[in-house]
Structure 1
Amino acid sequence: MFRWSEIKAHFKIMNPYIAFGFILFFAGLVVGGTNSAFSDYLEQQLRALGSVAESLDNAENPTLAFMVFIFLNNAIKSIFIIYIGAVFGIIPIFFLVLNGMVVGFLLQHVAETQGTGDMLTVVLGLLPHGIIEIPAIVVACAYGMKFGVLLLKAIGRIVIPGKEAGKSGREIEYFMIRSVPVVVILTVALLVAAIIESTVSVWVSSL
């Protein structure tokens, strides 16, 4: 299950879904940065994040509080999104687009209100997102979409029985087995991202 060759081989199978995931995220980023129709909703999302950050900042050990919150928030969401993809892969698609929109709106808002100097600080602060978190979330959503596709195929084969009627069970079983190492890898990656974001990113933002 945890052989690197098998993990690598399955990642190759997942490449189309991962590529589609990045397309969805960047499409959301463009929409969030250019379409004012969603500004009220996105501002509400950022305000909610701001209130959480403020409460964590008042904790006895803010760095540890930020690290634990960021890690648990991202890890739980990523694992959840893989398996909630069973709902025809719809929720992972929505999750990717929404995250892209929030990042796009944030960058556009900072550029408009605070100028390019603060934009650089924000970009540096977002580096853990770009290098580790975003790819991890995209991979999780890609697996969620794949799970949705497998279940759609299974339903189709039940409705229209044929020679491949028993194939869906084997495909889903194989997918579930291969998803376990991915969950472990994503959890480790998101822990590293949480450590960086709660230390380096906070330091950069304070400059």
Structure 2
Amino acid sequence: MFLAGLFVGAMSHGDIAWLDKQLENISKIAKQANESDNVSLSMFWLILVNNLVATAFAMYLGIAASIMPLFTLALNGLVMGYLFGQLANEGADLWSLILKGILPHGILELPAVFLAGAYGILLGVRLLQGIGRSMTNKPKPWARFAEAMKGSIAIYAVVAILLLVAAVIESTLTLYLVKS
């Protein structure tokens, strides 16, 4: 879903208002951090909280038939692809942007988003299985769902740790590399 969104976003031509709005929101977060007394610390907290909330929603709202994690993965790819497409149209050096602005923290942040999305899909599937097993009077219809919910705590802890380290990298190393 992420790769499909990335491809569609990159192939989009012209301005797309709602994607431009997404990029505007990201710019507002960066501007808010840049106007603070401690840019790195502000960026760290803004990035970490935003990513923790987004991955929690993607993961736990997956209970609703896996829709939210699929949407989140596609939207993240779409926004990133759209941004890259816009920058390429402006003649930006995409490889430098990827190496300096995405790779240092993205190597941890993207797997965290993928893990949260995948587990959200699993929660949705387990819920649907529970409904099906309950309707057909199978023994312990909700056992798999309950097991998945218990496992979600450990999975989210891993996601949170990855996002914490990624936020440290993004608010320090990535910030330094992009400004240099």
Which of the five TM-score ranges fits, normalised by the shorter chain?
A: over 0.9
Q: 1:139, 1:89 → 2: CA distance?
A: 13
- From 21, 24, 27, the equivalent of 1:47 is 24
Q: Does 1:149 align with 2:125?
A: yes
Contact 2:104/2:173 (8 A) holds in 1:
no
Aligned residue pairs total 179
Instruction: Please list every run of at least 4 consecutive aligned residues from structure 1 whose deviation after the TM superposition is greater than 4 angstroms.
Output: none
Fraction of identical pairs, as percent: 34
* Alpha-carbon offset, residue 76 of structure 1: 2.0
Contact 2:106/2:166 (8 A) holds in 1:
no
Q: 2:125, 2:104 → 1: CA distance?
A: 30
Q: Does 1:180 align with 2:156?
A: no
Q: 2:26, 2:112 → 1: CA distance?
A: 20
Gaps of 5+ in 1: 1-23
Q: Does 1:131 align with 2:107?
A: yes
- From 120, 125, 138, the equivalent of 2:95 is 120
Alignment partner, residue 200 of structure 1 = 173
Contact 2:2/2:74 (8 A) holds in 1:
yes
Alignment partner, residue 72 of structure 1 = 49
Q: 1:37, 1:180 → 2: CA distance?
A: 42
Contact 2:126/2:144 (8 A) holds in 1:
yes
Q: TM-score, normalised on structure 1?
A: 0.81
Q: 1:181, 1:81 → 2: CA distance?
A: 16
Distance 1:143 1:38, change over 3 A: farther
Q: 2:95, 2:177 → 1: CA distance?
A: 10
Equivalent residues in 2 for 1:18-33, closer than 5 Å: 24-33=1-10
Contact 2:102/2:174 (8 A) holds in 1:
yes
Deviations 1:61-92 (A, max 9, x none): 11100001111111122123211111110011
Matched residue of 2:142: which SS? Answer: helix
* Alpha-carbon offset, residue 129 of structure 1: 4.8
Alignment partner, residue 170 of structure 1 = 143
Q: TM-score, normalised on structure 2?
A: 0.92
What RMSD over aligned residues (CA atoms) do the two structures have, in Å? 1.6
Deviations 1:141-174 (A, max 9, x none): 1010111111111222233x24x242x3211121
Gaps of 5+ in 2: none
Matched residue of 1:114: which SS? Answer: coil
* Alpha-carbon offset, residue 46 of structure 1: 0.4
Matched residue of 2:91: which SS? Answer: helix
